A and B are shown apart, each in its own frame.
Chain A
Amino acid sequence: MTVALTWVFSEIVDGKPIPAVLELLTAARSLGGAVEAVALSPDAEAAAAVLGEYGATTLLAGTDAAYAELLPGGPAADAIATLAAEHHPDVVLIAATYLGRDVAGRLAAKLDVPVVANGLGVETGGGLSVQSSIFGATQDVTTTFGQRKPAIVLLRPRSVDAESSGGGPATVVAVTVEIAEQHRSVKVVERRAEEASGPKLEEASIVVSGGRGLGDAKNFELLEQLAGLIGGAVGASRAVVDAGWVPYSMQVGQTGKTVKPSVYIACGISGAMQHTVGMKGAQTIIAINRDADAPIFKLADLGVVGDALKILPQVIEQIKARKA
């Protein structure tokens, strides 16, 4: 497949593209061909300069106020499907966020084209192919698209380093696509933010994470103490977020955050693949788990088979003693 035109679905928050969009634009440039951004948000046009700086020549902007009041995935997907029938992109790159997954699935169904999810990279040469990693990052997979266009690719945030192209602002082309009645009935009536304290998880150079093996929500205090001592942020596995122990903002993994700290300390985390995809990029991994067969030990530079609840207090005391 030769790529003449790549679209980047540009998720806009407060007039700015989310960081993953800049990564997508960088990846899109590597495919050759033109790169255009598509954004459906009332404040989309404000993003034209940044989108241009990372390589979009054109911004197709749908600025209907309804995109902010409705659940945006459905109407955005339908709009892109309509626009794609007119402009014929070869590839549509979408970040694997909550909104991105909603858009990709519905768009694929509307256009009757396949989507490859969980991408870590994309390249041309012998067809358009996507790299991903499965089974707890133990196997790397390359998936190649056939001839049906556009090829829809969901790329995980932080898989590609964003690099400016030095381009000027993208040319804004206003687009209007009718929003179907079915989408107008799905309204967001309230938004509540969840905040975590301490350094930002995605930016922390040390992450101390906990899972089910900690036994109880209150034991996360141990992780907070340790993180506080070594300047780290606290993360969590999906299991404990689902159980309501800690807020979602702390979740590391497939449907949570991707972290690349210099040191990742996994406490009571077995290492299910949906967790490891979010942390395997750590430079150094320490794992503490009672189960000697836990898959997390395959990734660990230092694996400790034992009870985190016994070991962590000792670690905290010894670090305090060293600092004293």
Chain B
Amino acid sequence: MNVVVCVKQVPDPNSPGRLDPSTHNLRRDGELVLDPGDEFGVEAGLQLTEKHGGEVTVVSMGPERALDAVRKALAMGASRGVLVCDDSLAGSDALTTAKVLAAAIRRQDFDLVLTATESTDGYTGVVPQMLAGLLDIPAVTFAKSVSYDGEVIRVERQTETGIEVVEARLPVVISVTAGVNEPRYPSLKGIMGAKQKPLDRPSPTDLGFDAGGGASAGPAITAVTAAPERAAGEIVRDEGEAAARIVEFLAARKVI
């Protein structure tokens, strides 16, 4: 089974992001990491190919620095990487992103496409289904477990009310939730080996896109304003009195 895993480099979720005041694009000048949500997809791909044979290819779109995120997935054990990198793609909306990823995926020999349910920075949550639509294959989203018996892919997926067990056939796009598995840490050998693994760097033209067609096609952010601040709250450092302050606060609001 050959698996493509889509990954994204994002600002470290532990340091809050912001938009560039002039371009309205996401600022990427802070610490950047492989989206923690994508590690679950990489792990799921590795587990499936370890059991059923085949290779994991990671596919990403992003600036030059996103190579680090692809390399991390390679260090975890993926066999090859694809990074689409072009200035015209900066600020792409979800559909443009999905088109680029789908075009890169079509160049691979794949049976299964894995993604996270949403990126940690943009979190539109629509790219997995867009990929499926563009590749003209079905999608099963929000997988909490994925297994394969050589014929049927069986997925337990999250819904508003509980769990749905879904059976599907390859090829299919599956988005996995965090918690579907325990992503492995790259070994030292894996990290050293990652630099030697095949890396494809197609340009948008290689993928059949017109030059400069990327970001301009989507809807435009026309205003960014600071959210109305909540009135500055009271901050208490607990030195034994905090519980009493909470109780007093609740009493003042007639909760108790």
Inter-chain contacts of B158 with A (CB < 8 A): 98, 248
Interface segment, one of A26-34, A54-62, A101-109: A101-109
Tell me if B60 is interfacial: C-beta within 8 Å of chain A: no
C-alpha gap A30/B140 in the complex (Å): 34
C-alpha gap A189/B173 in the complex (Å): 18
- The reply to whether A182 and B136 contact each other, CB–CB distance below 8 Å, is yes
Q: Provide a sorted-by-A list of 17 A–B residue pairs whose CB atoms are within 8 angstroms.
A: A77-B133, A138-B226, A139-B18, A142-B222, A146-B218, A146-B219, A188-B165, A189-B166, A255-B118, A255-B125, A274-B123, A288-B246, A297-B233, A299-B230, A302-B245, A303-B233, A306-B242
C-alpha gap A323/B247 in the complex (Å): 12
CB interface residues, B 105-143, toward A, < 8 Å: 117-118, 120, 123-134, 136-142
Q: Which residue of B lies closest to A183 (CB)?
A: B138
Rank and list the top 10 A-B pairs by shortest CB-CB distance, nearest first: A306-B238, A105-B129, A109-B133, A242-B179, A314-B243, A105-B126, A117-B124, A190-B165, A142-B223, A106-B133
Min CB–CB distance B80 → chain A (angstroms): 26
Most-contacted residue by chain B among A105, A107, A191 (CB, 10 A): A105
- The reply to whether A143 and B133 contact each other, CB–CB distance below 8 Å, is no
Q: Which residue of B lies closest to A256 (CB)?
A: B160
Interface segment, one of A41-49, A84-92, A129-137, A162-170: A129-137
C-alpha gap A300/B246 in the complex (Å): 12
C-alpha gap A104/B94 in the complex (Å): 11
- The reply to whether B179 and A118 contact each other, CB–CB distance below 8 Å, is no
Tell me if A73 is interfacial: C-beta within 8 Å of chain B: yes
Name 4 extra pairs, CB < 8 A, besides A109-B95, A109-B98, A300-B233: A116-B219, A284-B253, A301-B230, A304-B242
Tell me if A114 is interfacial: C-beta within 8 Å of chain B: yes
Tell me if B177 is interfacial: C-beta within 8 Å of chain A: yes
C-alpha gap A140/B224 in the complex (Å): 6
Give per-residue flags for B188-228: 1 if the beta carbon is below 8 A from chain A beta carbons, else 0: 00000000000000000000000000000111111111110
A74-B139, A182-B136 given; A114·B168 CB < 8 A: no
Partner of B134, one of A74, A109, A151: A109
- The reply to whether B126 and A243 contact each other, CB–CB distance below 8 Å, is no
A102-B129, A146-B219, A304-B238 given; A186·B138 CB < 8 A: yes
Tell me if A174 is interfacial: C-beta within 8 Å of chain B: no
Min CB–CB distance B11 → chain A (angstroms): 10
Inter-chain contacts of A71 with B (CB < 8 A): 138, 140, 164, 166, 168
Inter-chain contacts of A129 with B (CB < 8 A): 222
Tell me if A4 is interfacial: C-beta within 8 Å of chain B: no
Tell me if B237 is interfacial: C-beta within 8 Å of chain A: yes
Inter-chain contacts of A74 with B (CB < 8 A): 129, 132, 138-139
Q: Which residue of B lies closest to A131 (CB)?
A: B223
Q: Which residue of B lies closest to A230 (CB)?
A: B255
Inter-chain contacts of B218 with A (CB < 8 A): 114, 146
Partner of B221, one of A142, A288, A303: A142
Inter-chain contacts of A142 with B (CB < 8 A): 221-224
- The reply to whether A185 and B168 contact each other, CB–CB distance below 8 Å, is yes
Most-contacted residue by chain A among B217, B227, B231, B249 (CB, 10 A): B227
- The reply to whether B95 and A188 contact each other, CB–CB distance below 8 Å, is no
Min CB–CB distance B222 → chain A (angstroms): 4
Partner of A135, one of B17, B129, B168: B17
Tell me if B234 is interfacial: C-beta within 8 Å of chain A: yes
Tell me if A305 is interfacial: C-beta within 8 Å of chain B: yes
Give per-residue flags for A184-228: 1 if the beta carbon is below 8 A from chain B beta carbons, else 0: 011111111110000000000010000000000000000000000
A114-B95, A143-B222 given; A193·B253 CB < 8 A: no
Min CB–CB distance A26 → chain B (angstroms): 21
Inter-chain contacts of A182 with B (CB < 8 A): 136-138
Inter-chain contacts of A65 with B (CB < 8 A): none
A102-B129, A106-B129 given; A139·B165 CB < 8 A: no
Inter-chain contacts of A77 with B (CB < 8 A): 129, 133
- The reply to whether A137 and B251 contact each other, CB–CB distance below 8 Å, is no
Min CB–CB distance A189 → chain B (angstroms): 5
Tell me if B13 is interfacial: C-beta within 8 Å of chain A: yes
Most-contacted residue by chain A among B120, B129, B142, B169 (CB, 10 A): B129
Inter-chain contacts of A138 with B (CB < 8 A): 16, 226-227
Min CB–CB distance B252 → chain A (angstroms): 10
Min CB–CB distance A179 → chain B (angstroms): 11
- The reply to whether A242 and B177 contact each other, CB–CB distance below 8 Å, is yes
Inter-chain contacts of B129 with A (CB < 8 A): 73-74, 77, 101-106, 109
Partner of A194, one of B163, B222, B235: B163
Tell me if A319 is interfacial: C-beta within 8 Å of chain B: yes
A189-B167, A191-B164, A305-B235 given; A141·B221 CB < 8 A: yes
C-alpha gap A286/B140 in the complex (Å): 38
Partner of A115, one of B126, B226, B233: B126
